[in-house]
Amino acid sequence: TILIRIKMAANPNENPFMQLFQTEEDFSRVQELLKDEVEELDAPTLKITDPYEEPLTNEYRSNLLEKIFLFTVRETVSPASNGLSSPSYLLKLPSLTTQLRALGEDLILSEDLLDQALVERLHIADKSSLITRVKGGKSGRLFTEKMATESRVLFYFGQCFERVLSCDGRDPRVSILCRYCKDLLLTYVSTQLVSLSSLIPSSNPNSPQKQIEELLEQIYNGNADISLTFLIEVLNKLPSDKIKQLFLLGVQKTLSHVPVKADFPNPNMDRLLKVLQFLAKQVDLAEMVISSKIWIPAVQTSKEYSHNTILGRLLSLTPIPQEFGSLPKVFGEFAGQTETTLDNRAVYMQEEIQKIVDGVTEFVKNLLRHGGQVRTAVMEWIIGCFKTSTGRSQMISEYSDPMTQALQSFLHASDGFYLNLLWVMLKVAVPFSRGGLVQANKVDPNYTMCASLPSTSCGGPVLDLSGESALVVLEGGEPVHPSLPLSFSTHWFFLTQKCLTLTYPSAARPFLQLQQHAKKILADGVLANLSLVPDEQTVLKIKVLLSKYYVYKTHACHPGLLEAVMEFIAFVCDWMLWQLIASQPQDKEIENISYSLLNEDTLYFLQSGVTPGAFHRIPESVVEMIVDVVVMFQKLQPDLLYRIQLSLGLFVSIFAGWQHLLRNPHLRARLVEILIILMEKGQNESSLMLASYKEERFSAHPFFHLVLVESLLRIFIDTEHSGEDMLFEQKYRYRHQIYSILCKVWGEAEYRVTVQRLHKEAVEGYLQSTSILLLKFIHLLVNDAVAILDRALKALQSVHEIEQSEENGEWDGLSVDDRKAKEQEKEEAIENAKLSNQMSERAIQMVVEVARVTPEVMVLDTMVDRVAAMLNYFLRKLIGPERNELKVKDFKVVSFSPKDLLHSIVLVYTNLAHSKQFCAAVCSDERSYSRELLQETCMTLRRIQVPLPIILEFSAFSNQLEKAEKEEEIERNLALQAPSEFCDALMGTLMRDPVTLPNSQTVMDRVTILRHLMSKSEDPFTRSTLTPDMLQEEVEVKQKIETWIKDKKDAKQESQLNTVTSAQEDEEVDDEDDADLY
Contact 873, 933 (CB under 8 A): no
Q: Is the pLDDT of residue 400 over 70?
A: no
pLDDT digits (tens, 9 = 90+) for 653-690: 999 999 999 999 899 999 999 988 888 754 444 333 33
Q: Which range has the worst mean pLDDT, 395-399, 478-482, 836-840, 1025-1029?
A: 395-399
Checking if the pLDDT of 739 tops 50, the result is: yes
pLDDT confidence band for 3 (50 / 70 / 90): low
Tell me, what's the pLDDT at 401? 52
Could you tell me the pLDDT band of residue 223, with boundaries at 50, 70 and 90? confident
Nearest partner of 91 among 112, 70, 119, 113, judged by Cα: 70
Task: With a cut of 60, say whether residue 452 has pLDDT above it.
Answer: yes
Q: What one-letter code names the amino acid at 328?
A: P
Q: Is the pLDDT of residue 555 over 50?
A: yes
Which tens digit of pLDDT belongs to each residue from 142-154?
788 899 999 999 9
Would you report the helix, strand and coil content of the chain in percent, each value rounded to 5? 65, 0, 30
Q: What is the pLDDT of residue 390?
A: 74
In terms of DSSP H, where are the helices of 524-664? 536-555, 559-583, 600-607, 620-636, 638-643, 645-655
Residues 272 and 257 sit within 8 Å (Cβ to Cβ): yes
> Whole-angstrom Cα distance, residue 629 to residue 636?
10
Is residue 353 pLDDT above 90, yes or no?
yes
**Cβ distance 578 to 590 under 8 Å?**
no
Q: Which residue has the higher pLDDT, 1015 or 694?
A: 1015
Provide the mean pLDDT of the chain: 84
The pLDDT assigned to 1064 comes to 42
Provide the CB-side half-sphere exposure for 873 (13 A, CA): 17
Please list, in sequence order, all residues whose beta carbon lies within 8 angstroms of the beta carbon of residue 287, skipping any fewer than 6 positions away: 244, 373, 374
Arithmetic mean of pLDDT, 1036-1064: 67
Taking residues 502-511, what's their average pLDDT?
84
Q: Is 230 exposed, middle or buried (0-12, 13-18, 19+ CB in 10 A)?
A: buried
What H or E segment, with its residue span, contains residue 72?
strand 71-72
Are residues 1027 and 792 in contact, defined by beta-carbon separation less than 8 angstroms? Answer: no
- What pairing do the DSSP bridges indicate for beta strands 89-92 and 131-133? antiparallel
The average pLDDT across 813-828 equals 90
The confidence band for 28, taking pLDDT boundaries of 50, 70 and 90, is confident
Q: Is the pLDDT of residue 404 over 60?
A: no
Other CB atoms within 10 Å distance of the CB of residue 852: 15
Q: pLDDT tens digit string along 116-125? A: 999 999 999 9
Write out the E strands in 420-471.
none
Q: Of 707, 760, 756, 746, whose CA–CA distance to 600 is shortest?
A: 707
Q: Distance (Å, rounded) from C-alpha 772 to C-alpha 561?
A: 46
d(CA 851, CA 856): 8
605 against 399, higher pLDDT:
605
C-alpha span between 25 and 20 (Å, rounded):
12
Strands lying side by side in the sheet with 71-72: 71-72, 89-92, 131-133
User: Please, which pLDDT band fits residue 605 given cuts at 50, 70 and 90?
Assistant: very high
Identity of the amino acid at 1038:
K
Question: Which has more confidence, 357 or 1036?
Answer: 357
pLDDT at 419 over 90: yes
Question: Cα dist. 431→102, 358, 434, 443, 1019 in Å?
Answer: 64, 15, 6, 12, 58
Task: State the pLDDT confidence band at 43, using cuts at 50, 70 and 90.
Answer: very low
**Identity of the amino acid at 96:** L
More confidently predicted of 646 and 990: 646
Lowest mean pLDDT among 14-18, 787-791, 881-885, 981-985: 14-18
Q: How much is the pLDDT for 4?
A: 57
Look at residue 423 and tell me whether its pLDDT is greater than 50: yes
- Name the DSSP letter for residue 882: G
pLDDT reported for residue 396: 45
The candidate with the shortest Cα–Cα distance to 334, out of 130, 484, 546, is 546
Ranking 232-241, 430-439, 533-542, 599-608 by mean pLDDT, the lowest is: 533-542
Residue-level pLDDT at 683: 47
pLDDT of 723 > 60? The answer is no
Note whether 448 and 465 are within 8 A (CB).
yes
Query: Residues 517-523: contacts with CB within 8 Å, 24+ apart?
Result: 517/545, 517/549, 518/545, 518/546, 518/549, 518/550, 521/545, 521/546, 522/339, 522/546
- What would the mean pLDDT of 494-512 be, rounded to a whole number? 88
Would you state the pLDDT for residue 100? 93
Out of 146-150, 259-263, 411-415, give the one with best mean pLDDT.
146-150
Range in 170-179, 233-242, 981-990 the model is least confident about: 981-990
Rounded distance between C-alpha atoms, residue 107 and residue 93, angstroms? 11
